[in-house]
Structure 1
Amino acid sequence: MDQLTQSYSPNIGESYFNLEESNHGNKQGLTQGQLNNFILKLLTTIDLPKLSELYFQQLQNTLPLSGLKIQFEDSRVVFGQNIQNSHVKTLNCMQMGTVVAIMDYSLTQPLSIRDWQILQQMHVNFCTPFKNALEHHKIKQFAMKDFLTSLGNRASYDETMIRLASHAHRSHQPFSLLVLDMDNFKQVNDAHGHQVGDKVLVACADTILHSLRESDFAFRFGGDEFCCLLPDADKHTSHIIAERIRSAIESEPLLQQHQISCSIGSATYHADDSQIGIFSRADEALYAAKQAGKNCIRNA
């Protein structure tokens, strides 16, 4: 979630509260008209990162805010920056008596009574659309995961590939793709059945995931085929990571017991590449690894 920082609307930077009117009118916070306008802004999206950034930028137009951190479950969204010696206000987002998110507001100066009232009003009215967006986010995340291993599925791979290819095109930084196939997996299913086979696949997935960097992505394509996308990884880096995976699979106790190893094909994205092209090259490298006797790595 930390990487999602794209703007929602070109008009988002425009001030939407008439502060001069408010200073001569209601000094206890926002007028009903201002509050309605704010709520209508929040109803324009249900996408969690877009909604959060919309809220942050609207806050910045109204209060001396330097940063916003929203912590929910095991994820967080961060906007702006926490300036040293800044003033921090922490407010919770509640649902049926349970805290579903903690929001830290970093401020460049202490808030006046009126500004504190405004922050509380905005926070309370943000929480309802935020909770709806959070539920939408959970459903979307669930739909992007492989049911057995909890790795990303094919849809998640496609979305991540598009994002990395777009970033590589803009930044001229490479990324790499690993395509992995588990050696000797079919004999596990044939000899022990699918229940044991599923345990082996979960062990494979966990081993792959723990062999990656924090910034890397792992996916299960189906059966015993897995893929990894490695941001900002050139050919040398991808080979190091691939070897780490191969070695870990080879030495994992359950996989050792069933004589499971893995063959890996690696390809690195380049300037005139396509998403289909990089996958085809990695897949061909995987085939070469199989032909070379399995339990090895081949680079495209």
Structure 2
Amino acid sequence: MLEQLNQVYDSSLKDSFFNLEPSGQESRHKLDHNQLNQFIQTLLTTIDLTELSELYFEQLSTTLQLSELKIQFEDNQVCFGKPPQKPYIKSLNCARLGINIATMQYTFSQPVSIRAWQILQQMHMNFSYPFKNALEHHKMKQFAMKDFLTSLGNRANYNETIARLANQADRRHEPFGLLVMDMDNFKQVNDTHGHHEGDKVLVTCAKTILSSLRESDFAFRFGGDEFCCLLSDADESVNALIAERIRKAISEEPFLATHEISSSIGTATYRENDSQIGIFSRADEALYKAKHAGKNCVVAAKICHK
């Protein structure tokens, strides 16, 4: 019996306590054939990784009273629910061809019985198959959403991100910021040193921009030497602070300084009942003013009072 338990118990689990006494409530938790089939059918309704994971969490929270689910894959993580004051954590891996591609961390508010642990393993196994497909779809989508040269988001990624932020802003009444920037004197690099050197400048600009942002912010390359950033939960003061941080970092970067590269930045803030076209137009107009104000500066758009 102990040998069998050791085989099913994952060595990465942080909690080794089992409730050996089954209760009537736990008996009702057991999935019959119809419930299991319905669970699998539900998971097949989407290939979007976030939606799939949320459906999985909803099923687990109903069946096993799961408090929180964290899924770690590569450098990303999705999380649902909230951790209890006294967490009981179980971790299971998802592997492909013997290589771990994701780790699921399950957090409960009470010790997990053997019966519940077996059900969790069963559900985890059935979730792993559609999750692997969703992860591959996610990777391909991310690849298609990246600028080939700088690895920043591209225009399609920008459109998707600003639509999501606008939706959140309208629902939660939280503003977000947009920075539109142009690299000053970039054309002379291509004209004098060639496109290879110009590419090195663009890659350095992208890295410098990224290093100046918060973890919750997003950076994109629109093409040429035009970049933009979306700043979550940001108002005019936050926009100004981050824009100035970027401007200063670019002007002080040694390699960029050798080519006299600086940045002109226009900023705008999305407000309730604003539009995606409206905020971009205001930021772009502010950028135009920054270029004509002598370059290497930050100009804020007029506040939208719609």
Structure 1 residues 271, 57: closer, same or farther in 2, change over 3 A?
Answer: closer
Letter in 1 for 2:88: H
- For 1:16, the equivalent position in structure 2 comes to none
Q: Kindly state the Cα deviation for residue 272 of structure 1 after the two structures are TM-superposed.
A: 4.1
3-state SS of paired residue (1:76): strand
Q: Which runs of 5+ in 1 are unaligned?
A: 1-19
Q: TM-score, normalised by structure 1?
A: 0.88
Query: Structure 1, residues 192-228: CA drift from partner, whole Å, max 9, x if none?
Result: 1111100000000000111111111111000000001
Q: Which residue type is aligned with residue 69 of structure 1?
A: K
Q: What SS does the corresponding residue of 1:293 show, helix, strand or coil?
A: coil
Task: Quote the Cα distance in structure 1 between the aligned partners of 2:272 and 2:35.
Answer: 49
Aligned equivalent of 1:139: 140
CA distance in 2, matches of 1:108, 1:178: 43
- Corresponding residue of 1:288: 289
Q: State the shift of 1:173 in Å.
A: 2.1
Instruction: Tell me which residue corresponds to 2:222.
Output: 221
- Across the aligned residues of Structure 1 and Structure 2, the Cα RMSD in angstroms comes to 1.9
Letter in 2 for 1:224: D
- For 1:82, the equivalent position in structure 2 comes to 83
> Does structure 1 residue 196 correspond to structure 2 residue 197?
yes
Amino acid paired to 2:105? D
| Structure 2 unaligned regions, length at least 5 | 1-23, 302-306
Residue of structure 1 equivalent to 2:276:
275
SS at 1:65 equivalent: coil
Distance in structure 2 (CA, Å) of the matches to 1:229 and 1:52: 26
Q: CA deviation at 1:253?
A: 0.8
* Cα distance between partner residues in 2 of 1:58 and 1:272: 35
Q: Does the 8 Å contact 1:183/1:295 carry over to 2?
A: yes
**Cα 1:112/1:154, change in 2 over 3 Å:** same
- For 1:94-109, what aligned pairs fall within 5 Å after superposition? 94-109=95-110
In structure 2, the residue matched to 1:210 is 211
- C-alpha distance in structure 2 between counterparts of 1:297 and 1:258, whole Å: 20
Displacement of 1:159: 1.0
The match for 1:127 is 128
Taking only the aligned residue pairs, the percentage that are identical comes to 68
8 Å CA contact 1:64–1:109 kept in 2: the answer is no
In structure 2, what is the equivalent of residue 36 of structure 1?
37
Which amino acid in 2 is paired with 1:285? A
AA aligned to 1:234 is D
Q: Secondary structure at the match of 2:67?
A: strand
In structure 1, the partner of 2:177 is: 176
The Cα of 1:147 is off from its aligned counterpart by 0.7
Q: Which residue of 2 aligns with 1:15?
A: none
Closer/same/farther in 2, CA of residues 84 and 207 from structure 1, 3 Å limit:
same
Structure 1 residues 239, 51: closer, same or farther in 2, change over 3 A?
Answer: same
Distance apart, 1:267 and its partner CA? 1.3
Q: Is the Cα–Cα contact under 8 Å of residues 67 and 109 in structure 2 kept in the other structure? A: yes
The SS at the match of 2:112 is coil
Instruction: Say which SS state the counterpart of residue 186 (structure 1) adopts.
Output: helix
Partner Cα separation in structure 1 for residue 109 and residue 100 of structure 2: 26
Q: Which moved more, 1:82-91 or 1:138-147?
A: 82-91
TM-fit CA distance, 1:248: 0.5
Q: How far did residue 139 of structure 1 move?
A: 0.6
How far the C-alpha of 1:23 sits from its partner, in A, is: 4.7
Q: Cα offset for 1:129? A: 0.4
TM-score in terms of structure 2 length: 0.86
1:237: how far off?
1.5
Contact 2:85 2:109 in 1 (8 A): no
Offset of residue 112 of structure 1: 2.6
Deviation per CA, 1:75-110, whole angstroms, max 9, x where unpaired? 111111221322211111111111111111112222
Structure 2 Cα separation of the partners of residues 273 and 80 of structure 1: 31
Counterparts of 1:272 and 1:55, CA distance in 2: 34
Task: Say which is worse superposed, 57-66 or 239-248, in terms of deviation.
Answer: 57-66
Give the Cα separation in 1 of the matches to 2:117 and 2:232: 42
1:68: Cα distance to partner? 1.1
Deviations 1:143-182 (A, max 9, x none): 1111110111101111111111222222222212111000
User: SS at 2:162's partner residue?
Assistant: helix
User: What residue in structure 2 maps to residue 7 of structure 1?
Assistant: none
Specify the alignment match of 2:246 in structure 1. Answer: 245
Counterpart residue type for residue 204 of structure 1: C
State the match for 2:13 in structure 1. none
In structure 1, give the amino acid aligned to 2:144.
A
SS of the residue 2:220 aligns to: strand
Separation (CA, whole Å) in 1 of partners of 2:294 and 2:69: 53
Task: Provide the residue aligned with 1:158 in structure 2.
Answer: 159
Instruction: Look up the match of 2:68.
Output: 67
Kindly provide the amino acid, as one letter, of the partner of residue 260 in structure 1: I
Distance in 2, matches of 1:62 and 1:270, equals 41
1:177 maps to amino acid: L
CA distance in 1, matches of 2:273, 2:134: 37
Tell me the residue number matched to 2:236: 235
